[in-house]
Structure 1
Amino acid sequence: MRLTTGALVERAAGLAAAAARSGEARVLGITGPPGAGKSTLAAALADGLAPGTAVVVGMDGFHLSNRVLEAHGSRARKGAIDTFDDAGYAALIDRIAGRRPGGPPVYAPEFRREIEEPVAAGTVVGDEPLVITEGNYLLATGGDWPAARARMAEVWYVDLPDDERLRRLVARHHAFGKPLPDAEAWARGTDQRNADLIATTRDTADLVVQWVEPGTDVVG
Protein backbone atom coordinates (compact mmCIF):
# COMPACT_ATOMS: atom_id res chain seq x y z
CA MET A 1 0.00 0.00 0.00
CA ARG A 2 1.44 3.37 -1.09
CA LEU A 3 0.66 6.65 0.67
CA THR A 4 1.88 10.22 0.21
CA THR A 5 2.91 12.47 3.05
CA GLY A 6 -0.44 14.19 2.51
CA ALA A 7 -2.24 10.95 3.32
CA LEU A 8 -0.25 10.64 6.53
CA VAL A 9 -1.16 14.22 7.42
CA GLU A 10 -4.80 13.29 6.85
CA ARG A 11 -4.48 10.36 9.24
CA ALA A 12 -2.89 12.64 11.83
CA ALA A 13 -5.71 15.13 11.29
CA GLY A 14 -8.15 12.38 12.22
CA LEU A 15 -6.39 11.93 15.55
CA ALA A 16 -6.49 15.69 16.12
CA ALA A 17 -10.20 15.81 15.33
CA ALA A 18 -10.90 12.96 17.78
CA ALA A 19 -8.94 14.85 20.42
CA ALA A 20 -10.91 18.04 19.82
CA ARG A 21 -14.19 16.13 20.21
CA SER A 22 -13.09 14.48 23.45
CA GLY A 23 -11.54 17.60 24.95
CA GLU A 24 -8.35 15.67 25.79
CA ALA A 25 -5.11 15.76 23.81
CA ARG A 26 -4.05 12.82 21.64
CA VAL A 27 -0.39 11.81 21.46
CA LEU A 28 1.02 10.39 18.22
CA GLY A 29 4.37 8.61 18.51
CA ILE A 30 6.92 8.45 15.69
CA THR A 31 9.69 5.91 16.22
CA GLY A 32 12.38 4.06 14.28
CA PRO A 33 16.17 3.67 14.13
CA PRO A 34 18.64 6.58 14.11
CA GLY A 35 18.65 8.41 10.78
CA ALA A 36 15.35 6.98 9.52
CA GLY A 37 13.62 10.36 9.27
CA LYS A 38 11.56 10.52 12.46
CA SER A 39 12.03 14.23 13.11
CA THR A 40 11.51 15.02 9.41
CA LEU A 41 8.18 13.19 9.39
CA ALA A 42 7.09 14.71 12.71
CA ALA A 43 7.81 18.22 11.41
CA ALA A 44 6.05 17.50 8.11
CA LEU A 45 2.93 16.33 9.95
CA ALA A 46 2.86 19.37 12.23
CA ASP A 47 3.46 21.75 9.32
CA GLY A 48 0.79 20.04 7.21
CA LEU A 49 -1.94 20.52 9.79
CA ALA A 50 -3.82 23.73 10.48
CA PRO A 51 -1.99 26.24 12.70
CA GLY A 52 -2.48 25.49 16.38
CA THR A 53 -3.36 21.84 15.74
CA ALA A 54 -0.11 20.08 16.62
CA VAL A 55 3.17 20.53 18.46
CA VAL A 56 6.24 18.28 18.34
CA VAL A 57 7.88 17.02 21.54
CA GLY A 58 11.11 15.06 21.11
CA MET A 59 12.12 12.12 23.26
CA ASP A 60 15.73 13.29 22.87
CA GLY A 61 15.07 16.04 25.40
CA PHE A 62 15.40 13.24 27.97
CA HIS A 63 19.01 12.44 27.10
CA LEU A 64 21.06 12.34 30.27
CA SER A 65 23.54 15.23 30.32
CA ASN A 66 27.12 14.64 29.23
CA ARG A 67 28.28 15.25 32.81
CA VAL A 68 25.97 12.52 34.13
CA LEU A 69 26.97 10.15 31.31
CA GLU A 70 30.64 10.69 32.08
CA ALA A 71 29.99 9.98 35.75
CA HIS A 72 28.24 6.74 34.76
CA GLY A 73 31.00 5.80 32.32
CA SER A 74 28.54 5.73 29.42
CA ARG A 75 29.48 8.89 27.49
CA ALA A 76 30.84 6.79 24.61
CA ARG A 77 27.43 5.04 24.32
CA LYS A 78 25.33 8.20 24.25
CA GLY A 79 22.04 7.37 22.55
CA ALA A 80 21.80 3.85 23.98
CA ILE A 81 18.52 3.04 25.69
CA ASP A 82 19.99 3.33 29.20
CA THR A 83 21.31 6.86 28.53
CA PHE A 84 17.81 8.37 28.68
CA ASP A 85 15.52 9.34 31.56
CA ASP A 86 12.68 7.01 30.60
CA ALA A 87 10.73 7.70 33.81
CA GLY A 88 10.85 11.44 33.17
CA TYR A 89 9.68 10.94 29.59
CA ALA A 90 6.79 8.71 30.67
CA ALA A 91 5.73 11.28 33.27
CA LEU A 92 5.73 14.04 30.64
CA ILE A 93 3.66 12.01 28.17
CA ASP A 94 1.19 11.21 30.94
CA ARG A 95 0.81 14.92 31.74
CA ILE A 96 0.37 15.80 28.07
CA ALA A 97 -2.18 13.05 27.40
CA GLY A 98 -4.27 14.17 30.37
CA ARG A 99 -4.16 17.86 29.56
CA ARG A 100 -7.42 19.65 28.75
CA PRO A 101 -7.93 22.94 26.86
CA GLY A 102 -7.51 26.04 28.98
CA GLY A 103 -5.24 24.35 31.50
CA PRO A 104 -1.72 25.54 32.28
CA PRO A 105 0.92 24.90 29.62
CA VAL A 106 3.23 21.91 29.84
CA TYR A 107 6.92 22.62 29.30
CA ALA A 108 9.05 19.93 27.69
CA PRO A 109 12.83 19.70 27.35
CA GLU A 110 14.45 19.62 23.92
CA PHE A 111 17.77 18.35 22.63
CA ARG A 112 20.15 20.82 20.98
CA ARG A 113 22.49 19.08 18.56
CA GLU A 114 24.77 22.09 18.30
CA ILE A 115 25.77 21.60 21.96
CA GLU A 116 24.88 17.88 22.24
CA GLU A 117 22.88 18.55 25.41
CA PRO A 118 19.23 18.64 26.52
CA VAL A 119 17.76 22.05 27.37
CA ALA A 120 14.96 22.39 29.92
CA ALA A 121 11.57 23.87 28.94
CA GLY A 122 12.54 24.27 25.29
CA THR A 123 9.07 23.35 23.98
CA VAL A 124 5.70 24.64 25.16
CA VAL A 125 2.60 22.43 24.88
CA GLY A 126 -0.51 24.56 24.98
CA ASP A 127 -4.00 23.86 23.68
CA GLU A 128 -2.92 21.88 20.61
CA PRO A 129 -5.20 18.83 20.33
CA LEU A 130 -2.40 16.69 18.84
CA VAL A 131 1.05 16.25 20.32
CA ILE A 132 3.54 14.45 18.08
CA THR A 133 6.42 12.84 19.95
CA GLU A 134 9.35 11.26 18.18
CA GLY A 135 12.25 9.15 19.38
CA ASN A 136 14.05 5.84 19.16
CA TYR A 137 12.56 3.81 22.01
CA LEU A 138 8.84 4.51 22.01
CA LEU A 139 8.04 0.80 21.55
CA ALA A 140 10.69 -0.57 23.92
CA THR A 141 9.40 -3.12 26.41
CA GLY A 142 11.63 -2.48 29.44
CA GLY A 143 11.77 0.27 32.05
CA ASP A 144 9.15 3.02 31.89
CA TRP A 145 8.87 3.05 28.09
CA PRO A 146 5.65 0.97 28.09
CA ALA A 147 4.01 3.51 30.43
CA ALA A 148 4.69 6.23 27.87
CA ARG A 149 3.45 4.03 25.02
CA ALA A 150 0.20 3.34 26.90
CA ARG A 151 -0.65 7.04 26.74
CA MET A 152 -0.13 7.30 22.96
CA ALA A 153 -3.07 6.95 20.59
CA GLU A 154 -0.85 5.48 17.86
CA VAL A 155 2.84 4.83 17.23
CA TRP A 156 4.24 4.84 13.69
CA TYR A 157 7.56 3.19 12.86
CA VAL A 158 9.69 4.93 10.24
CA ASP A 159 11.79 2.49 8.23
CA LEU A 160 14.55 3.16 5.70
CA PRO A 161 17.05 0.99 3.80
CA ASP A 162 20.25 0.78 5.83
CA ASP A 163 22.52 2.21 3.14
CA GLU A 164 20.54 5.44 2.89
CA ARG A 165 19.97 5.62 6.64
CA LEU A 166 23.70 5.27 7.34
CA ARG A 167 24.53 7.86 4.68
CA ARG A 168 22.21 10.35 6.38
CA LEU A 169 23.61 9.54 9.82
CA VAL A 170 27.22 10.04 8.77
CA ALA A 171 26.34 13.33 7.08
CA ARG A 172 24.49 14.54 10.18
CA HIS A 173 27.28 13.65 12.59
CA HIS A 174 29.81 15.28 10.30
CA ALA A 175 27.67 18.44 9.95
CA PHE A 176 27.55 18.78 13.72
CA GLY A 177 31.29 18.61 14.20
CA LYS A 178 32.53 15.03 14.09
CA PRO A 179 35.48 14.41 11.71
CA LEU A 180 34.32 12.16 8.88
CA PRO A 181 36.11 8.99 10.12
CA ASP A 182 34.62 9.49 13.61
CA ALA A 183 31.17 10.15 12.11
CA GLU A 184 31.34 6.89 10.15
CA ALA A 185 32.59 4.94 13.16
CA TRP A 186 29.79 6.28 15.38
CA ALA A 187 27.08 5.58 12.79
CA ARG A 188 28.26 2.01 12.21
CA GLY A 189 29.05 1.36 15.87
CA THR A 190 26.97 2.94 18.63
CA ASP A 191 24.12 4.01 16.33
CA GLN A 192 23.93 0.62 14.63
CA ARG A 193 23.76 -1.28 17.91
CA ASN A 194 20.84 0.95 18.90
CA ALA A 195 19.21 0.44 15.49
CA ASP A 196 19.40 -3.33 15.89
CA LEU A 197 17.56 -3.10 19.22
CA ILE A 198 14.94 -0.72 17.85
CA ALA A 199 14.29 -3.00 14.86
CA THR A 200 13.01 -5.69 17.23
CA THR A 201 10.07 -3.41 18.12
CA ARG A 202 8.99 -2.75 14.51
CA ASP A 203 6.18 -5.28 14.38
CA THR A 204 4.37 -3.76 17.36
CA ALA A 205 3.82 -0.40 15.61
CA ASP A 206 0.37 0.70 14.47
CA LEU A 207 1.83 1.77 11.12
CA VAL A 208 5.16 1.15 9.37
CA VAL A 209 6.29 3.96 7.08
CA GLN A 210 9.07 3.06 4.65
CA TRP A 211 10.68 6.24 3.34
CA VAL A 212 11.47 5.91 -0.37
CA GLU A 213 12.27 9.46 -1.47
CA PRO A 214 11.37 12.97 -0.27
CA GLY A 215 7.60 13.40 -0.30
CA THR A 216 6.90 9.72 -1.00
CA ASP A 217 6.05 7.12 1.61
CA VAL A 218 5.28 3.44 1.37
CA VAL A 219 3.21 2.09 4.22
CA GLY A 220 2.78 -1.53 5.11
Structure 2
Amino acid sequence: MTRDATTAELVARARRLAVPGERRVLGIVGPPGAGKSTLARVLVATLGPGLAVEVGMDGYHLSNAVLAGLGRDHRKGAIDTFDDAGYAALVARLAAARPGDPPVYAPVFRREIEEPVAAGVAVPSDVPLVVTEGNYLLAPSGAWPAARARMAEVWYLDVPGDLRLARLEERHHAFGKSRDDARRWANGSDQVNADLIEATRDGADVVVRWTS
Protein backbone atom coordinates (compact mmCIF):
# COMPACT_ATOMS: atom_id res chain seq x y z
CA MET A 1 0.00 0.00 0.00
CA THR A 2 1.32 3.43 -0.97
CA ARG A 3 1.11 6.22 1.60
CA ASP A 4 1.45 9.92 0.88
CA ALA A 5 4.25 11.58 2.84
CA THR A 6 5.43 15.17 3.08
CA THR A 7 9.05 16.23 3.28
CA ALA A 8 8.62 17.00 6.97
CA GLU A 9 7.25 13.51 7.65
CA LEU A 10 10.07 11.81 5.77
CA VAL A 11 12.71 13.95 7.48
CA ALA A 12 11.19 13.07 10.86
CA ARG A 13 11.30 9.35 10.03
CA ALA A 14 14.92 9.62 8.89
CA ARG A 15 15.83 11.62 11.99
CA ARG A 16 14.63 8.77 14.20
CA LEU A 17 17.25 6.55 12.56
CA ALA A 18 20.06 9.05 13.18
CA VAL A 19 21.08 8.08 16.70
CA PRO A 20 24.41 9.64 17.76
CA GLY A 21 27.01 7.03 18.63
CA GLU A 22 25.37 4.46 16.37
CA ARG A 23 25.35 3.86 12.61
CA ARG A 24 22.36 3.06 10.45
CA VAL A 25 21.92 2.91 6.69
CA LEU A 26 18.69 4.11 5.08
CA GLY A 27 17.99 2.92 1.56
CA ILE A 28 15.78 4.74 -0.95
CA VAL A 29 14.76 2.69 -3.97
CA GLY A 30 12.52 3.19 -6.97
CA PRO A 31 12.51 3.16 -10.77
CA PRO A 32 14.52 5.62 -12.86
CA GLY A 33 13.07 9.11 -12.55
CA ALA A 34 11.27 8.46 -9.26
CA GLY A 35 13.18 11.24 -7.47
CA LYS A 36 15.43 9.07 -5.30
CA SER A 37 18.54 11.22 -5.47
CA THR A 38 16.50 14.40 -4.98
CA LEU A 39 14.88 13.01 -1.83
CA ALA A 40 18.22 11.74 -0.52
CA ARG A 41 19.77 15.18 -0.98
CA VAL A 42 16.81 16.87 0.75
CA LEU A 43 17.04 14.51 3.73
CA VAL A 44 20.78 14.98 4.11
CA ALA A 45 20.65 18.75 3.68
CA THR A 46 17.82 19.07 6.21
CA LEU A 47 19.37 16.80 8.81
CA GLY A 48 22.78 18.41 8.33
CA PRO A 49 26.32 17.02 8.00
CA GLY A 50 26.52 16.07 11.67
CA LEU A 51 23.66 13.58 11.30
CA ALA A 52 23.58 12.33 7.71
CA VAL A 53 25.62 11.79 4.56
CA GLU A 54 24.55 10.56 1.11
CA VAL A 55 26.19 7.62 -0.66
CA GLY A 56 24.64 6.65 -4.01
CA MET A 57 24.52 3.18 -5.53
CA ASP A 58 25.38 4.70 -8.91
CA GLY A 59 29.05 4.96 -7.92
CA TYR A 60 29.13 1.25 -8.66
CA HIS A 61 28.25 1.62 -12.33
CA LEU A 62 30.71 -0.37 -14.41
CA SER A 63 32.91 1.97 -16.44
CA ASN A 64 32.12 2.67 -20.08
CA ALA A 65 35.20 0.71 -21.14
CA VAL A 66 34.17 -2.35 -19.13
CA LEU A 67 30.60 -2.13 -20.43
CA ALA A 68 31.84 -1.94 -24.01
CA GLY A 69 34.04 -4.96 -23.44
CA LEU A 70 31.06 -6.90 -22.09
CA GLY A 71 28.78 -5.74 -24.91
CA ARG A 72 26.40 -4.05 -22.45
CA ASP A 73 27.04 -0.38 -23.19
CA HIS A 74 23.77 -0.10 -25.16
CA ARG A 75 21.78 -0.80 -21.97
CA LYS A 76 23.78 1.02 -19.35
CA GLY A 77 21.77 1.19 -16.12
CA ALA A 78 20.51 -2.41 -16.31
CA ILE A 79 21.00 -4.54 -13.22
CA ASP A 80 24.01 -6.37 -14.68
CA THR A 81 25.84 -3.12 -15.45
CA PHE A 82 26.68 -2.54 -11.77
CA ASP A 83 29.26 -4.01 -9.42
CA ASP A 84 26.75 -5.39 -6.94
CA ALA A 85 29.38 -7.20 -4.86
CA GLY A 86 31.39 -4.01 -4.51
CA TYR A 87 28.31 -2.08 -3.42
CA ALA A 88 27.34 -4.75 -0.88
CA ALA A 89 30.86 -4.66 0.57
CA LEU A 90 30.66 -0.87 0.89
CA VAL A 91 27.27 -0.99 2.62
CA ALA A 92 28.66 -3.57 5.06
CA ARG A 93 31.59 -1.27 5.89
CA LEU A 94 29.30 1.70 6.30
CA ALA A 95 26.91 -0.20 8.56
CA ALA A 96 29.74 -1.52 10.75
CA ALA A 97 31.49 1.84 11.28
CA ARG A 98 31.47 3.39 14.74
CA PRO A 99 32.79 6.67 16.16
CA GLY A 100 36.58 6.59 16.24
CA ASP A 101 36.92 4.43 13.14
CA PRO A 102 38.61 5.94 10.08
CA PRO A 103 36.32 7.42 7.43
CA VAL A 104 35.00 5.26 4.63
CA TYR A 105 35.51 6.62 1.12
CA ALA A 106 32.79 5.85 -1.40
CA PRO A 107 32.66 6.29 -5.18
CA VAL A 108 30.29 8.69 -6.93
CA PHE A 109 28.79 8.76 -10.41
CA ARG A 110 29.39 11.90 -12.47
CA ARG A 111 26.64 12.38 -15.03
CA GLU A 112 28.58 15.05 -16.88
CA ILE A 113 31.14 12.41 -17.91
CA GLU A 114 28.86 9.35 -17.50
CA GLU A 115 31.50 7.58 -15.41
CA PRO A 116 32.03 6.50 -11.78
CA VAL A 117 34.77 8.28 -9.83
CA ALA A 118 36.53 6.51 -6.96
CA ALA A 119 36.61 7.94 -3.43
CA GLY A 120 34.28 10.80 -4.36
CA VAL A 121 32.70 11.15 -0.93
CA ALA A 122 34.08 10.70 2.59
CA VAL A 123 31.81 9.22 5.25
CA PRO A 124 33.03 10.20 8.74
CA SER A 125 32.58 7.47 11.32
CA ASP A 126 30.72 9.73 13.76
CA VAL A 127 27.87 10.51 11.32
CA PRO A 128 25.03 8.25 12.49
CA LEU A 129 22.96 7.98 9.28
CA VAL A 130 24.03 7.07 5.76
CA VAL A 131 21.36 7.62 3.11
CA THR A 132 21.93 5.45 0.05
CA GLU A 133 19.72 5.46 -3.03
CA GLY A 134 19.52 3.38 -6.16
CA ASN A 135 17.46 1.22 -8.44
CA TYR A 136 18.21 -2.29 -7.26
CA LEU A 137 18.40 -2.18 -3.46
CA LEU A 138 15.58 -4.75 -3.19
CA ALA A 139 16.64 -7.04 -6.05
CA PRO A 140 16.62 -10.74 -5.01
CA SER A 141 19.63 -11.80 -7.12
CA GLY A 142 23.40 -11.48 -6.85
CA ALA A 143 24.85 -9.54 -3.92
CA TRP A 144 21.91 -7.12 -3.63
CA PRO A 145 20.26 -9.04 -0.74
CA ALA A 146 23.52 -8.80 1.23
CA ALA A 147 23.45 -5.02 0.84
CA ARG A 148 19.78 -4.79 1.77
CA ALA A 149 20.38 -6.90 4.91
CA ARG A 150 22.67 -4.18 6.31
CA MET A 151 20.08 -1.41 5.83
CA ALA A 152 17.94 -0.40 8.79
CA GLU A 153 15.09 0.63 6.49
CA VAL A 154 14.38 0.75 2.76
CA TRP A 155 11.80 3.14 1.35
CA TYR A 156 10.28 2.53 -2.08
CA LEU A 157 9.56 5.86 -3.77
CA ASP A 158 6.46 5.72 -5.95
CA VAL A 159 5.59 8.28 -8.64
CA PRO A 160 3.02 8.46 -11.46
CA GLY A 161 4.38 6.95 -14.66
CA ASP A 162 3.81 10.00 -16.87
CA LEU A 163 5.69 12.27 -14.47
CA ARG A 164 8.54 9.79 -14.15
CA LEU A 165 8.92 9.48 -17.93
CA ALA A 166 8.87 13.25 -18.38
CA ARG A 167 11.64 13.61 -15.80
CA LEU A 168 13.72 10.92 -17.50
CA GLU A 169 13.38 12.48 -20.93
CA GLU A 170 14.45 15.85 -19.58
CA ARG A 171 17.42 14.32 -17.75
CA HIS A 172 18.67 12.46 -20.81
CA HIS A 173 18.24 15.55 -22.96
CA ALA A 174 20.04 17.76 -20.42
CA PHE A 175 23.04 15.43 -20.54
CA GLY A 176 23.40 15.43 -24.30
CA LYS A 177 20.84 13.17 -25.94
CA SER A 178 18.57 14.53 -28.65
CA ARG A 179 14.87 14.76 -27.79
CA ASP A 180 14.12 11.68 -29.88
CA ASP A 181 16.98 9.65 -28.38
CA ALA A 182 15.98 10.77 -24.86
CA ARG A 183 12.42 9.60 -25.45
CA ARG A 184 13.54 6.26 -26.92
CA TRP A 185 15.92 5.59 -24.00
CA ALA A 186 13.29 6.50 -21.37
CA ASN A 187 10.66 4.27 -22.98
CA GLY A 188 13.10 1.50 -23.88
CA SER A 189 16.01 0.46 -21.65
CA ASP A 190 14.85 2.58 -18.73
CA GLN A 191 11.35 1.10 -18.87
CA VAL A 192 12.68 -2.46 -18.85
CA ASN A 193 14.64 -1.58 -15.71
CA ALA A 194 11.61 0.15 -14.18
CA ASP A 195 9.47 -2.97 -14.63
CA LEU A 196 12.09 -5.09 -12.84
CA ILE A 197 12.39 -2.58 -10.00
CA GLU A 198 8.63 -2.27 -9.52
CA ALA A 199 8.43 -6.02 -9.01
CA THR A 200 10.63 -5.65 -5.90
CA ARG A 201 8.53 -3.02 -4.12
CA ASP A 202 6.93 -5.47 -1.68
CA GLY A 203 10.34 -5.88 -0.04
CA ALA A 204 10.37 -2.27 1.14
CA ASP A 205 9.62 -1.24 4.71
CA VAL A 206 7.34 1.47 3.37
CA VAL A 207 6.11 2.57 -0.07
CA VAL A 208 5.75 6.35 -0.20
CA ARG A 209 4.49 8.96 -2.62
CA TRP A 210 6.47 12.11 -1.83
CA THR A 211 3.93 14.90 -1.92
CA SER A 212 5.99 18.02 -1.16
Query: Normalising by the residue count of structure 1, what TM-score does the alignment of the two structures yield?
Result: 0.93
Distance 1:4 1:192 in 2: 27
* Structure-2 residue corresponding to 1:55: 53
Alignment gaps of 5+ in structure 2:
none
The percentage of counterpart residues that share the same residue type is 69
Counterpart residue identity of residue 54, structure 1: A
> In 1, distance between residues paired with 2:69 and 2:63?
10
Partner residue of 2:99 out of 98, 101, 106: 101
Q: What's the counterpart of residue 202 of structure 2?
A: 203
1:3 Cα deviation from its structure 2 partner: 2.8
Task: Give the match for residue 170 of structure 2.
Answer: 171
The corresponding residue for 2:146 is 147
1:113 and 1:176 in contact (8 A); partners too? yes
The one-letter amino acid of 1:197's match is: L
The structural deviation recorded for 1:113 is 0.2
Alignment pair present for 1:156 and 2:178: no
Q: Which amino acid aligns with 1:107?
A: Y
Amino acid at match of 1:37: G
Distance 1:107 1:50 in 2: 19
Equivalent of residue 38 in structure 2, options 40, 44, 63? 40
Q: What is the CA distance between 1:209 and its match in structure 2?
A: 1.3
Query: CA–CA distance in 1 between the matches of 2:45 and 2:8?
Result: 11
Q: Tell me, what secondary structure is at the counterpart of 1:36?
A: coil
Q: Distance in 2 between matches of 1:60 and 1:78?
A: 11
Q: Is the 8 A contact 2:26 2:131 kept in 1?
A: yes
- 2:4 touches 2:208 (CA, 8 Å); kept in 1? no
User: Residue 69 of structure 1 corresponds to which residue in structure 2?
Assistant: 67
The equivalent of 1:218 in structure 2 is none
* Structure 1 partner of 2:6: 4
Q: CA deviation at 1:4?
A: 1.4
CA drift at 1:112: 0.2
Q: Distance in 2 between matches of 1:7 and 1:50?
A: 16
Secondary structure (helix, strand or coil) at the match of 1:128 reads coil
Classify 1:50/1:70 alpha carbon distance in 2 versus 1 (closer, same or farther; 3 Å): closer
d(CA) in 2 for partners of 1:154, 1:59: 15
Answer yes or no: is the 8 Å Cα contact 2:40–2:54 preserved in 1: yes
Stretches of structure 1 that go unaligned for 5 or more consecutive residues are 216-220
Which residue of structure 2 lines up, in the alignment, with residue 86 of structure 1? 84
